[in-house]
Amino acid sequence: MKKNKSGLVMLGIVVLLYAVLFSLNADKTLMALKESLGVLKMIIPILVLVLTLTALLNTFIDEKSISRHLGEESGLKGWLLALIGGILSHGPGYVWYPMLQNLRERGAKDGLIGAFIYARAVKIPWIPLMIAYFGWTFTVVYTVYVVLGAWVQGVLLGRWMALSKDDIKIHHQDKSSKE
Amino acid sequence: MLQKLKSALKNAAKTLYVISPMLLAVIGLVGLFKTFVTPQMLHTLFNGSALHDMLMGVGFGGVSVGQPFLSYIIGGELLDEGASFYGVTAFILAFVTLGVVQLPMEFSIFGFRFTLARNLLSLIFAFLLSVAITVTLRLFV
């Protein structure tokens, strides 16, 4: 709901901007409006496709089943699941943070959490839009490198955190003393 | 399953409703951007030099907030206006993997060390991956 509000505020600002610019330079502002309508027209079919994909993801992939298999001692399977989970997770990142921290506290590897978060840079529902703007080649190369990058970053993050396990213990104590 | 799909479609429609003001606002801005911001102006921001473009991309991407598709739209326009793939890729990556605005929240949930490590690594990776992606792309084009 809060997000909805920020969108409305933003829209209000843009409308105001148009009004001000119209009074300064009417012709150019009308041209801008025409450009915007052109962009809107191009986006609409893609938007419909994206929302359908989102609905399908919501129907066939249950968030709980993603979280269940991200646990520790998972080896290669854990990495695969972290990467796939990150790719499939939708919505803003901070929605996933409490769940990820919960997994971490129950022994999930830090590296897996890091890989999950980075793999979110691949957004399957938005892939048609990425292809429309940047082409197939870019989209494939980008996706491959992000997944590879997420894995490498997860490994590095795991090593980094292993150097400083005390920090987590302190953080846990902080949390439990507050509760 | 059909029931589930139905409610999922309903949710998708709701999502569209929720994002539509922001979407319209951004599209409106893109129109203004295309009309009022000349390629010359953009060239001063994204001048085609790899390092410069990447720094701009990571900077703007890191402070921007919003749905990831916004970064595709803005990135696509930047590319049209002559920005390099280095800068545009860095922008898209930073947009999704770095969030200055949500940093306080990340700190409070994951703790200091994890958040610091993750964000520093993501910052470095935005540069590394932008170079890797652009160089690989050149092999195909």
Please give the Cα distance from B52 to B54 (Å, whole number): 5
What is the per-residue pLDDT across A153-179, written as a single tens digit (0 to 9) for each? Answer: 999 999 999 886 655 555 555 544 443
Nearest by CB: B113 against A4, A32, A167: A167
Contacting residues of B for A51, CB less than 8 Å apart: 12-13, 15-16
Smallest CA–CA separation between A85 and chain B, in Å? 16
User: Could you tell me the CA-to-CA distances from B106 to A95, A146, A150, B62, B119 in Å, in that order?
Assistant: 11, 21, 18, 14, 10
Smallest CA–CA separation between A146 and chain B, in Å? 7
Instruction: Say if B99 is an interface residue toward chain A (CB within 8 Å).
Output: yes
User: Could you tell me the CA-to-CA distances from A77 to A62, A71, A80, A81, B34 in Å, in that order?
Assistant: 18, 10, 5, 6, 47
| Contact call for B12 and A161, based on CB within 8 A | no
Smallest CA–CA separation between A179 and chain B, in Å? 14
Nearest by CB: A161 against B19, B109, B114: B114
Residue B57 one-letter amino acid: G
Instruction: Say if A103 is an interface residue toward chain B (CB within 8 Å).
Output: no
Which of B124, B114, B98 is CA-nearest to residue A103?
A: B114
Contacting residues of B for A98, CB less than 8 Å apart: 109
Please give the Cα distance from A94 to A98 (Å, whole number): 8
Reply yes or no on whether the pLDDT at B83 is more than 50: yes
Please give the Cα distance from B132 to A145 (Å, whole number): 8
Smallest CA–CA separation between B76 and chain A, in Å? 5
Positive or negative CA dihedral for A165, A170, A175, A177? Answer: positive
| Token digits of residue A140 | 């494939």
Reply yes or no on whether the pLDDT at A106 is more than 90: no
Smallest CA–CA separation between A161 and chain B, in Å? 7
Instruction: Say if A61 is an interface residue toward chain B (CB within 8 Å).
Output: no
What is the per-residue pLDDT across B107-137, written as a single tens digit (0 to 9) for each? Answer: 888 999 999 999 999 999 999 999 999 999 9
> For all residues of chain A together, what is the average pLDDT?
82
What is the per-residue pLDDT across A29-62, written as a single tens digit (0 to 9) for each? Answer: 999 999 999 988 887 887 787 778 777 766 776 6
**If you search the block for the tokens 């129907």, which residue do you land on?**
A59
Reply yes or no on whether the pLDDT at A4 is more than 80: no
Question: Residue ranges of the domains in chain A?
Answer: 1-60, 63-179
| Contact call for A28 and B93, based on CB within 8 A | no
Sequence-distant (6+) residues with CB within 8 A of A61 are: A88
| Contact call for A141 and B140, based on CB within 8 A | yes
Nearest by CB: B31 against A6, A36, A118: A36
| Token digits of residue B24 | 């319209």
Task: Please report the pLDDT score of residue A178 as a whole number.
Answer: 41
Which of B132, B33, B134 is CA-nearest to residue A38?
A: B33
| Token digits of residue A113 | 């959490």
Task: Please report the pLDDT score of residue B85 as a whole number.
Answer: 92
**If you search the block for the tokens 């793939």, which residue do you land on?**
B85
